[in-house]
Amino acid sequence: MPEAIRRQVADHPCYSEQAHHHFARMHAAVAPACNIQCHYCNRKYDCANESRPGVVSELLSPEQAVRKALAVAAAIPQMSVLGIAGPGDPLVNPERTFATFRLLAEKAPDLKLCVSTNGLALPDAVSELARHNVAHVTITINCIDPDVGAQIYPWIFWQGRRVRGREAAAILIEQQQKGLAMLAERGILAKVNSVMIPGVNDRHLVEVSKAVKAKGAFLHNLMPLIAEAEHGTFYGVMGQRSPTPAELKALQDECAGDMALMRHCRQCRADAVGLLGEDRGAEFTMEKVEAMEIDFDAALQRRLEFRAAVAAELETKRERAPQASPVTLHRRAPRPADDGRPVLMAVAAKRGLVFEHFGHAREFLIYEASAAGAKLIGHRRAAQYCFGDAECGEAEDVLAQTIRALAGCEAVLCSRIGWEPWRELEAAGIQPNGEHAMEPVEDAVMAVWREMLAAGRLVRSVAEQRCA
């Protein structure tokens, strides 16, 4: 990754794997209107217990959004980014979106601005984005073939008409590709999100990854489809399945040879607040925000100090390990035949450390440890008790669900763990490990891997050795 881009994303949690351990963002839910329908989205949805794109609890005016952003930025010095990601499409609500950016830039010029769009209105918005110093744009691109697109997008609104089927997909694809190229020309960093939909675009995404790289995208984020019947989406209701973690990883590995891949995405709500994976939105409802007293200058000072401290810490780390880069380039390297096999491990992490009690973790970071080092390959959500809608259901035991979510992992690292989950994890073939509490995640993962290697548990099978 070029040094200029590395610096540009160094404190953006959604664009840099390293930054996401330290920096927080807020999504301002000011953009309700949308100009397309995707089969994984339901425009009617709002549930405080759900976390996924397109879901919000409270729609804000630009003034309210800025008030909230300043409150968040005062309470959370890690805050470095304000993004607009919906609940519709920011560029279909240009007045609200750009008013939010304008007002925020006056009061908190240190915050980076970004948008996430479906791309249909992007070519017409690029100049305006540049004028407002929006330095990061994410486009969701699920296909470059209209026949594939016709299975994902039932309609788009285009030039005063609802256009359907293949024709709709063809227009959308053309606009997305045009918009992407225009961003690259302007030097605005473009990340591409793609939703992996088994049987629909899963094979096609390899081609998409190559195409968007050629057009100038600097980072590709392959995300699993979220589809549950109770979400009321086309895919959910029609029984379209989501990819398994193993299928997603295989696709990511296949695309990794072509471009930088993002593996730390949490598929946030359109009103998410805080560090990725720890939503603090409930602390900042408009009612609470209105009651907060804020010293803007002191808050700005705290943010700048925090950023300087993190930069210094990361600089030290980089000097210690010169190959580290904020976005990991996952390339397939030739393997020596006598090294141990790679192992997946789950980590109850916070701020880059083995931090949490197993039972308190809301999510686990998944690392692949091998002789080449520890590499983040994704995250899995821990099962949570849902106190929401009765329709959500609570059929299965929470511990059993979490253990199922960790399928494929051979160890789980946490700060502490109770006796019962310990026993159940062991029975499921996942070794709990509480010996590395508060250590940096990657060091801890590698220490556990080396212990497994020394214990002779990582010998490759004959077939694997032949492949290597």
Out of 1, 5, 6, 43, point to the residue binding another protein (CB under 8 A): 43
Which residue stretch of 35-43, 189-197, 284-292, 440-448 sits at the interface with another protein (rule: CB under 8 A)?
35-43
Q: Does 202 bind another protein (CB under 8 A)?
A: no
Q: Does 385 bind another protein (CB under 8 A)?
A: no
- Helix/strand/coil (H/E/C) assignment for every residue in the chain: CCHHHHHHHCCCCCCCCCHHHCCEEEECCCECCCCEECCCCCCCCCCCCCCCCCCCCCCCCHHHHHHHHHHHHHHCCCEEEEEECCECCHHHCHHHHHHHHHHHHHHCCCCEEEEEECCCCHHHHHHHHHHCCCCEEEEECCCCCHHHHCCCCCEEEECCEEEEHHHHHHHHHHHHHHHHHHHHHHCCEEEEEEEECCCCCCCHHHHHHHHHHHHCCCEEEEEECCCCHHHCCHHHHHCCCCCCHHHHHHHHHHHHCCCCEECCCCCCCCCCEEECCCCCHHHHCHHHHHCCCCCHHHHHHHHHHHHHHHHHHHHHHHHHCCCCCCCCCCCCCCCCCCCCCCEEEEECEECCEECCEHHHCCEEEEEEEECCEEEEEEEEECCCCCCCCHHHCCCCCHHHHHHHHCCCCCEEECCECCHHHHHHHHHCCCEEECCCCCCEHHHHHHHHHHHHHHCCCCCCCHHHHHHC
CA atoms within 13 A on the CB side of 302: 15
What is the smallest separation between the CB atom of 290 and another protein, expressed in angstroms? 20
Q: Does 32 bind another protein (CB under 8 A)?
A: yes
Q: Does 391 bind another protein (CB under 8 A)?
A: yes
Q: Does 92 bind another protein (CB under 8 A)?
A: yes
Size of the site for another protein (CB under 8 A): 29
Which residue stretch of 139-147, 151-159, 328-336, 460-468 sits at the interface with another protein (rule: CB under 8 A)?
151-159
Instruction: Give the footprint of another protein on residues 58-77 (CB under 8 A).
Output: 59
Out of 5, 107, 130, 154, point to the residue binding another protein (CB under 8 A): 154
Measured from the CB atom, the residue of 128 and 451 that comes closer to another protein is 128
What is the smallest separation between the CB atom of 168 and another protein, expressed in angstroms? 12
Distances (CA, A) of 165 to 157, 162, 168: 12, 10, 5
What is the smallest separation between the CB atom of 391 and another protein, expressed in angstroms? 5
Q: Does 88 bind another protein (CB under 8 A)?
A: yes
What is the smallest separation between the CB atom of 32 and another protein, expressed in angstroms? 4
Q: Does 93 bind another protein (CB under 8 A)?
A: yes
Q: Does 286 bind another protein (CB under 8 A)?
A: no
Out of 48, 206, 237, 292, point to the residue binding another protein (CB under 8 A): 237
Q: Does 166 bind another protein (CB under 8 A)?
A: no
Measured from the CB atom, the residue of 105 and 237 that comes closer to another protein is 237
Out of 102, 131, 161, 241, point to the residue binding another protein (CB under 8 A): 161
Measured from the CB atom, the residue of 287 and 293 that comes closer to another protein is 287
Q: Does 157 bind another protein (CB under 8 A)?
A: yes
Q: Does 199 bind another protein (CB under 8 A)?
A: no
What is the smallest separation between the CB atom of 89 and another protein, expressed in angstroms? 10
Backbone angles phi, psi at 148, to 5 degrees: -70, -45
CA distance 351 to 20: 8
Which residue stretch of 168-176, 182-190, 391-399, 436-444 sits at the interface with another protein (rule: CB under 8 A)?
391-399
Q: Does 150 bind another protein (CB under 8 A)?
A: no
Which residue stretch of 8-16, 229-237, 328-336, 415-423 sits at the interface with another protein (rule: CB under 8 A)?
229-237
Out of 34, 171, 222, 411, point to the residue binding another protein (CB under 8 A): 34
Residues that bind another protein (CB under 8 A): 32-35, 37, 39, 43-44, 59, 87-88, 92-93, 154-155, 157, 160-162, 229-230, 232-234, 237-238, 391, 393, 395
